[in-house]
Amino acid sequence: MTTTVEEASVDRIEEAEFCSRVETFLETHCNRIGEDQEMVGAEDADVIARMKTFQGSLVEAGLAALSYPAEFGGAGLTKRHQELFDQASKGWHLPNSALSISHGMCLPMLSQFGTDEQKSIFMPDCISGATIWCQLFSEPGAGSDVAGLATRATRDGDQWILRGQKVWTSGAHYADYGLIVARTDPALPKHQGLSMFIVDMRDPAVEVRPLRQISGGTGFNEVFFTDTQIPADWLLGGLNQGWNLAVAMLMFERVSIGAGGGAMNANRAPGLIRLAQDLGRSEDPLTRQALADLWIRERIRGFIGQRIRSAVQAGNVPGPEGSIAKLNGAVIARAIRDATMDLVGVTGQAWATDTDGGDRWAVGCLSASGISIAGGTDEVQRNIIGERVLGLPKEPDPYKGAAWETVPRN
């Protein structure tokens, strides 16, 4: 099928009009990257409320969940529109960071694996920000080895009974719902006896305990489930298909960390170059080399993102390219930390006022290392790349094929 000059011209006009609408919205509702930005903490109910209000404005403008069907709360447009929005919003701070897991990880899972009933019930409120979602994977005894998790879900009539503990759950303290992976058949090998469920985080049988981080924040949590009841029709995907869903969700997470939109993946090299110029450091050869390396890494991130978007546009779940993006994103985070702290010096370690940006530099520095852990450690990403891209042999597993309940655990 060929495209006529007239059709191509119409497409360009429509794209230009859409981009103009996006720019107008951003200028009205957002700040540039580097201007005042709100961070979500344990007690910031007012910040959460403002983020929900912003998301509501995005929905009213027809700019939320652009490629998701209108019948489930989306804008009903195309992935090309989402790509144009992401390009236009680079350099802008969208004040909806509390929804990054909701929209970057949980929403695509609901869309891809949910029943029509589940989509109708949960997707519209997820898109509008009326509900916030979290991901519940890691456990005290199952971090990098997520498949070794011990949280149990037992069928009891028309519901499932959930018992166990999760840890390092981002945003659990303000989440309304979560996607949890639990063991539904301990007699099967560890990868085969898992299922994914939707869980109500507001249930009294769910206890959330914030964890204090080195940065002073409490964005991560321990979550305890004590005979928590889950409706049978809140099973996502098929029974004992949880590992396949977990892998898909982890890839969405890695893409979000390594090549997603928003402030997390905004290019920082231009701002650091200006900072170096302002501080009289732009002619220092070591500074120039560090900033050039960062600029190159961020350009590479853009190319990886283009490849991932092409795969998604073709209807595919991100594969090992998600691990490449995530690993590169972790390297970039550390490079930004090192370059920034070298430039700002003691201002990023001890500051006298709230106006010199020292607290922001310090939090960014202390948080950078966490990017190497979230969504799977750098070592896990290298293993995935080695096995699935380079074709290297897998690490030996002496318990492969053995029932989970027979495998020794600490």
Q: Which two tokens stand for residue 234?
A: 């809140």
Give the C-alpha separation, 78 to 305, whole Å.
17
pLDDT tens digits, 124-153: 999 999 999 999 999 998 877 888 999 999
- The pairing of strands 159-166 and 206-211 is unpaired
What pLDDT was estimated at residue 40? 46
Asked if 292 and 310 count as a contact pair (C-beta separation under 8 A), the reply is no
- The pairing of strands 194-200 and 220-231 is unpaired
Could you tell me where in the chain the CATH 1.10.540.10 domains are found? 18-130
Asked if 402 and 181 count as a contact pair (C-beta separation under 8 A), the reply is no
pLDDT tens digits, 291-311: 999 999 998 888 887 787 777
Q: Is the pLDDT of residue 225 over 70?
A: yes
Within 10 angstroms of residue 75's Cβ, the number of other Cβ atoms is 21
Which tops the pLDDT comparison, 252 or 166?
A: 166
Strand partners, 222: 209
Domain boundaries 18-130, CATH class: mainly alpha
Could you tell me where in the chain the CATH 2.40.110.10 domains are found? 134-243
Q: What single letter denotes the amino acid at residue 127?
A: I
Grouping H, G, I as helix, E, B as strand and the rest as coil, residue 7 is helix
In degrees and rounded to multiples of 5, residue 222 shows phi and psi of -90, 145
pLDDT tens digits, 44-74: 788 899 999 999 999 999 999 999 999 999 9
Q: Which residues of 302-324 are buried (b: 16+ CB within 10 A; e: fewer)?
A: eebbeebbeebeeeebbebbbbb
Could you tell me where in the chain the CATH 1.20.140.10 domains are found? 245-388
Give the C-alpha separation, 394 to 372, whole Å.
22
Which tops the pLDDT comparison, 215 or 212?
A: 212
Cβ burial of 203 (10 Å; 0-12, 13-18, 19+) is middle
The third-level CATH classification (topology) of the domain covering 134-243 is Butyryl-CoA Dehydrogenase, subunit A; domain 2 (2.40.110)
What is this structure's pTM? 0.84
Q: Is the pLDDT of residue 2 over 70?
A: no
CATH (one of 3.90.550.10, 3.40.50.300, 1.20.140.10, 3.30.465.10) for 245-388:
1.20.140.10
Give the C-alpha separation, 279 to 19, whole Å.
36
Mean pLDDT of all residues in the chain?
86
Catalytic residue numbers, as ranges:
253
Instruction: Number of helices (H) and strands (E) in the chain: give both, helices first.
Output: 12, 10
Give the DSSP letter of residue 74. S
What pLDDT was estimated at residue 400? 87
Highest-scoring range by mean pLDDT, 310-319, 356-365, 366-375: 366-375
What pLDDT was estimated at residue 264? 57
